A and B are shown apart, each in its own frame.
Chain A
C-alpha cells in the first residue's frame, strides 16, 4: 500500500508535473496575448493554434507522417551503422586511428550545408532526408558504443580469460552486454536529434513534411499554422525519445532490479 502511494507520487513527478508546467505556460501565453491584443499574425494564442491544428488535422498528420518516417528510418539505420562502426572501431586500432578524426570532422560540418548537397546527390524524395538523419544520428551511437566495448571491466575480462574463453565468448558474455546501456544512451541522444534532423533536411525541398508545411504557412502569413507544426515537431521528438528510453528499460532487465515487476517475473 505504501509502495503503491510512493509509486503514484513518482509518476506524478515523472509525467504529470511537466504536463502541469506546460499547461500553466500555455495559459499564461493565452492570457498575455489576449490582454495585450497581440495580432494573431504575430503571435496567435494557444487556443487558436489548437483550433487550427484540429481543423487541419488530416493535412498535418500527412506531413507529420512523412517527417516521422524520415526520422525513424534514419534513426534505425543510424543504430545499425553506429553498431557496425563501433564494432570496427573497438576491434581494430588502425581503424580507430584512421577513422576517428574523420568522424569528428564530419560532425562539425553543419547540416545546413550538407542537406542541399545530399539533395543534389539523392534527389527530392524521402531518401536524402533519411540519409541526413542517419548521418546526424549515427555518431553519438558509434562513439558511446565503441567506448563501452573497449572499456570492459578488467576483473570480468580476467575471469573470462582464466576460464579459457575465446574472443567471441568474451564479446558475447562481457563486452556486448556491458555496452548495451551505453548504446542506448547514445541512441537517446540520437533520438533527440532525429526529428530535428529530418526537419532540417526538408529545408532543401520536397512535397511533404513538416518543414514544407511550415514554409507554405509562412508564405501565407499563417503564423498559427506555423506554430501548430512547431508544436507537433516537439511532440514527435518527445515521443521518439520516450520510445528509446522504454526500449533501453526493456533490454536491460538487470538494471531495474527491485521493481516488483521483476520479482513477479521470478514467481517470488
Chain B
C-alpha cells in the first residue's frame, strides 16, 4: 500500500544567509518519490544535492517552494507520521543517555512507560548497556549515532527518516551497524527512508534505491533490490550485488555531470 507520494517537489533557498552570496539557491528541482508501507528505501546522491533538504521538508521543518506531498495516514500533519533523525546526531548534552533516548516519546506524549520498557529491552541491541546514565559527551561517535537511532525508533511513528545515520563511522563498525539495523528492522512493520553517500549501504539495507542528480536534486535512477532477508556480509560479493553497485555508481556519475 502506498504510504507517501511526493510529486514535483522543488525547493529554493531565497536567502543563503551569506550576504555576498545573496542569490537564491535551487536545492531541489522537480523531484518525485514514493514509499510503500513496510518498505525501506534509500536515496543516494552527491554531496550538496539536497538530500538533507528533502528530509527536512518531509519532517515539516522546511516549507517547500513547490510540489505536492500526500500521505495516506496523515490527518493533518506529516509530523504525526514521521520520526526524523538529523544528519548531526543532535543529542541534548544535558540529558543522560536514557533521557535522550526517551525524548521523542516524552515530547510526543505517548505511553512513556511503554517506551521505557522498550528502552530496557533494546539497550543491548543498540550497544548501550552500561551507559544508560552516561552523558552524551562520554560516548564514542558510534554510540552517539546508535543513541540517536534509538531515539528515532522510540518515537511511535510509522515512517522513519534517516539522514546519513552512519556517516561518522569507520567501515567495520558501519557494516556491523548495517547488520544490526537490518535485524532491528525485521522486527518492525514500519517504513524507512534513508539518505546516504554510500551505495553499498543503500543496497544492503533497502528494498529500493533512488539515485539523485547533483544540485538542483531530482531523481535520476531507481533500482529494485530484491535480495532475500536476512542479508549477510557475503552479499557484497554476490555477482548481482556487484552489478547493481556498479550501475548505481554509474548513475551517480552521470547524474552529477548531466546538469
B92 and A174 within 8 A (CB): yes
The 8 Å CB contact of B80, one of A159, A164, A255, A268, is A164
Please, how many angstroms separate the alpha-carbon atoms of A158 and B60 in the complex? 10
Distance between Cα atoms of A165 and B155 in the complex (Å):
13
Judge whether A258 is part of the interface by a CB distance below 8 angstroms. yes
A151-183 contacts to B (CB < 8 Å): 155-156, 158-165, 169, 173-174, 177-178, 180
Determine whether A94 belongs to the interface, using a CB cutoff of 8 Å to chain B. Answer: no
Binary CB contact string for chain B from 132 to 157 against chain A (1 if under 8 A, 0 otherwise): 01111110000000000000000100
The answer for the CA separation of A266 and B104 in the assembled complex, in Å, is: 24
* A252–B77 CA distance with the chains assembled, in angstroms: 36
Q: Is A257 an interface residue (CB 8 A)?
A: yes
Kindly identify which residue among A162, A252, A258 contacts B79, using a CB–CB cutoff of 8 Å: A162
Tally of chain A residues near chain B (CB < 8 A): 27
Question: Is there contact, CB below 8 Å, between B84 and A164?
Answer: no
The listed residue (B79, B88, B92) touching A164 by CB distance below 8 A is B79
* Count of interface residues, chain B, beta-carbon cutoff 8 Å: 29
Is A246's CB within 8 Å of the partner chain B? Answer: no
Query: In the bound complex, what is the Cα–Cα distance between A14 and B222 (angstroms)?
Result: 63
- A251-268 interface with B by 8 A CB criterion: 252-255, 257-258, 262, 265-268
> Please, how many angstroms separate the alpha-carbon atoms of A178 and B94 in the complex?
8
List B contacts of A161 (CB < 8 A): 60-61
Tell whether B108 is near chain A: CB-to-CB under 8 Å.
Answer: yes
Q: Is B59 an interface residue (CB 8 A)?
A: yes
**Which parts of A167-225 form the interface with B (CB within 8 Å)?**
169, 173-174, 177-178, 180
A165 to B107, CA, bound (A): 6
**Per-position 1/0 for B55-88, Cβ under 8 A of A:** 0100111000000000000000101101110101
A172 → chain B closest CB, angstroms? 10
Judging by beta carbons under 8 Å apart, are A162 and B88 in contact?
no
CA distance A173 to B83 in the complex (A): 18
On whether A159 and B84 interact (CB within 8 A), knowing A164-B79, A177-B94, A254-B135, the answer reads yes
- Complex contacts, B134 vs chain A, CB 8 Å: 257, 266
CB <8 Å contact, B92 and A173 = yes
Shortest Cβ distance from residue A177 to the other chain B in the assembled complex, whole angstroms? 4
Q: CB-CB < 8 A to A169: which residues of B?
A: 107
A252 to B93, CA, bound (A): 10
Given contacts A163-B155, A254-B94, contact A158 B137 (CB under 8 A): no
The 3 closest A-B pairs by CB, nearest first: A177-B94, A162-B84, A163-B107
Contacts from B to A (Cβ < 8 Å): 56, 59-61, 77, 79-80, 82-84, 86, 88, 90, 92-95, 103-104, 107-108, 130, 133-138, 155
